[in-house]
Amino acid sequence: MDYPGTGIKQPDVSIDLDGFYSSDFQNFPAQTPTMTGYDDPNGQIPLPTGQISAQAYRRTNAGAAGKFMESNGFGWLLEVNEDEQDQIPLLEELDIDLTDIYYKIRCVLLPLPYFRMKLNIVRESPDFWGPLAVVLAFAILSLYGQFGVVSWIITMWFCGGFMVYFIARALGGDVGYSQVLGIVGYCLIPLVVTSLVTPLLSGFRLLSNALGMFGTVWSVYSAGTLLCVDELQAKKPLVVYPVFLLYVYFYSLYSGV
């Protein structure tokens, strides 16, 4: 290349564009242009494919009330947890084992060694709902139109159980308050049984009172057998006496004496 007036000839420079484009451009397949709603003769916009989230679907079909809540910032009330987690049964969540409660009831009703029941399970595996159900059943039987008796019987269950617990601990017994509370509650079952039978013998006053005392002694024997662990065997009368007074008071609430 010559520059005018200089007499200097510069070498020609060439640029290789092979790496920038292909000479086979004409051989490329023709692409079909995407049609929009304005190009479509029917005037319809093609719908997108795929799945929308369940939350977006619920918002779309929420209705007027749902849209009002969404626009005012309360859409979170309509959200549902989509995590697929196993729902815990209500009894398991409340720690209620009906089989265990049934076996403990059998232990209280059959405390004699002849029946070979594992009586220590009532003391070593205490629960709350079983004794509470027994105490409520006894309170309902003691109502006779006096609803205040229910709260008083439950109060005596807690307070009387604490007194028995205090005496047992003072005598060297290795028992907890929850264990004593469970035993005292479960051992009301004989009084519940006799309270169901006593109205049938209302015409026989002497027999009815004898049946009530039998239920009281039954409850005391069951409670004493379950409470008196190895270290309390030698001091069993000292533990049984306050238990006897507690169940006599329970029976007096029922009989009205």
Query: What total number of domains does the chain contain?
Result: 1
Question: Does 161 map to a domain?
Answer: yes
Question: Does 159 map to a domain?
Answer: yes
Question: Does 178 map to a domain?
Answer: yes
List the alpha helices (DSSP H) in 142-204: 148-170, 177-186, 189-197
Question: Does 39 map to a domain?
Answer: no
For 194-244, the pLDDT digits (tens) are 888 888 887 788 888 899 899 999 999 999 888 887 778 888 899 999 999
Rounded to two decimals, the pTM is: 0.61
Question: Does 53 map to a domain?
Answer: no
Q: Given this model, what pLDDT does residue 84 score?
A: 47
Question: Does 148 map to a domain?
Answer: yes
Which residue range is the domain that position 163 belongs to? 128-255
